[in-house]
Amino acid sequence: MKKMIASIALGTLLVAGFLFAQDNEPTELAGELEPSIFSVETPSFFF
Amino acid sequence: MIEIGSFIKLQRTKREMTQGQLAKGIVSLSYLSKIENKKTEASSEIIQLLCTRLGIQLKDGFDANIQKKCKEWYNMLFEVNDKEEIISTYKELQAVMDENLTDSLLMFEIHKIRYYLIIGKYNEALTKISDLNEMSGSFDNLHQYYWYKFRGNYNSANGDFEQAIILYKSAEERLNQIEVEEKEIADLQYIISITHSKLRNTLESIEYAEKALDIYMKEYYFMRCAQCHIVLGISYRRIKMYDKAIKNYNLARHLGELNKDKQVIQLTNLNLGYLHSARGGSKEAIHNYLEVVNDLEVDLNARLTSLTALIKEYYTINNVEKTKQMIEKGFELFEQININNNDTYRIHYYVLKTYNYAINKSNSKFENLVINELIPYLKEHKDYANLVVYANMLGNHFEELSKYKDSVKYYKLANITYDELVNL
């Protein structure tokens, strides 16, 4: 009985993990780069 | 005016004099200690004698010139400016400050935090923060504003964005009690926007980027406008408003092209590539990433971020040959960097090694690296986004090897971290 419960729990977690992986493509999460906080220049005029 | 006691203490410690050496023949040691700790007010004669021993002159009508020179130096404290010039102006000012008692001294000392950050001396910046902390109780509102802002800068530079945002907000609270130029207000708003973006507080990031953008547009700071558009592009992509994100990226790129600013153009390409990647547009993503990787003028961090993104993209579409090519290119770039002295690029190095082991099916090396180095590193740096990615990758790896127990462990880690990331 204990083994069966353990297998079901493991199976559920595995399925949840798989579904999570499907729902959340890794590329959605990391890799964007913000500009630096220390960069600035003087005002520019294009006209 | 700076508290005279704090000033004397600052100058004495700078000259490595003991209290005994300074006090000898002028006042008792305990009296000097009281003066320095602001527990008593000394007579002007005693102050004069102490300053003479310290080699400091007390001049009248001298402050306007120093103030002007200081302001010029404060305006130089950005990374785009010539570092040699920043350092030489600093030395000139320091020499003046060492010999004169001026109102500008405390503000100059506070700006040193920023100065050390700009020239990359983070430890000196921290030491300066500790030194000033003792006298921070006597700061007026303007001093406090910069004190909070620059401490926030220190935390930003060290990747502690949670602490940074608290300090920036404290600086922001001082804004209605002081008079500063519009561009200074915009700078703080821009910094807050970037910090919220790092923390993935998307709506707050948009709010502050738009506030800063309003001012920068009025003041013709077009490159800062472009940078605000990049932050807006990132934020709108995160809430899946892709059209708005693309519009902002296009505006950023247009401004970058008008000003011939390669950094802005390629930063736009990098983030636009990421947007395409997130929408499954590998071809467009690869095109954008390659533009950045092949541009030698772009700063190394942007090139490495693009390169690792490219590796992930090729790996995802199972292009083994290209993945290997890019990994090799990455290792070539790392030959220029001493990874032990530079934490900025460490994450990229881990990513390169991870994909190198993954593509070559070096299973035990891959597991060892991700479990024992990469995941602890990401946890330590609270880099939840990458933690989700690599815990997930590891879960997937174990699943393919039919090691379900291990697989569950890392899927679960990814799951919990994802909750943390979206603040569920």
Phi-psi region of B78 (alpha: psi -120 to 50; beta: other; left: phi over 0): beta
Contact call for residues B271 and A32 (beta carbons, < 8 A) = yes
**Which residue reads 């579409």 in tokens?**
B317
Range with lowest mean pLDDT among A22-26, A41-45, B126-130, B347-351: A22-26
User: Helix, strand, coil % (nearest 5) of chain A?
Assistant: 55, 0, 45
Chain A CA closest to residue B408:
A14
Q: Do A31 and B274 touch (CB under 8 A)?
A: yes
Share of chain B above pLDDT 90, in %: 63
Nearest to B219 among A32, A34, A43 (CB): A43
ipTM for the predicted complex comes to 0.80
Out of A34, A38, A45, the one facing B118 most closely (by C-beta) is A38
CA distance B264 to B270: 10
Q: What average pLDDT score do residues B158-181 get?
A: 94
Q: Shortest Cα distance from A17 to chain B (angstroms)?
A: 5
Contact A31, B305 (CB under 8 A): yes
Cβ-defined contact of B408 to A14 (cutoff 8 Å):
yes
Q: Which residues in chain A have their CB less than 8 angstroms from residue B190's CB?
A: 37
Q: Which residues of B touch A27 (CB under 8 A)?
A: 274, 277-278, 312-313, 316
Q: Which of A25, A33, A41 sits opposite B223 (nearest CB)?
A: A41
- For residues B138-159, give the mean pLDDT: 93
Mind listing the pLDDT tens digit for each residue in B31-74? 988 888 878 878 878 888 888 888 877 665 557 788 888 999 99
Domains of chain B with CATH codes: 4-54 (1.10.260.40), 362-424 (no CATH)
Q: Do B80 and A17 touch (CB under 8 A)?
A: no
How crowded is residue B43: how many other Cβ atoms within 10 Å of its Cβ?
Answer: 9
pLDDT in tens, B377-401: 999 888 888 899 999 999 999 999 9
Beta-carbon count within 10 A of B56 CB: 21
- Nearest-by-CA chain B residue for A18: B411
* Residue A27's pLDDT band (cuts 50, 70, 90): very low
Which residue is closest to B220 within chain A, CA to CA? A43
Contacts by B73-76 with C-beta closer than 8 Å and gap 24+? B73/B111, B74/B111
* For A15, nearest residue in chain B (alpha carbons): B408
- Give one DSSP letter per residue of B235-296, joined into a string: HHHHTT-HHHHHHHHHHHHHHHHHTT-HHHHHHHHHHHHHHHHHTT-HHHHHHHHHHHHT-T
Q: What is the mean pLDDT of chain B?
A: 90
Q: Quote the minimal CA–CA distance from B224 to chain A in Å.
A: 6
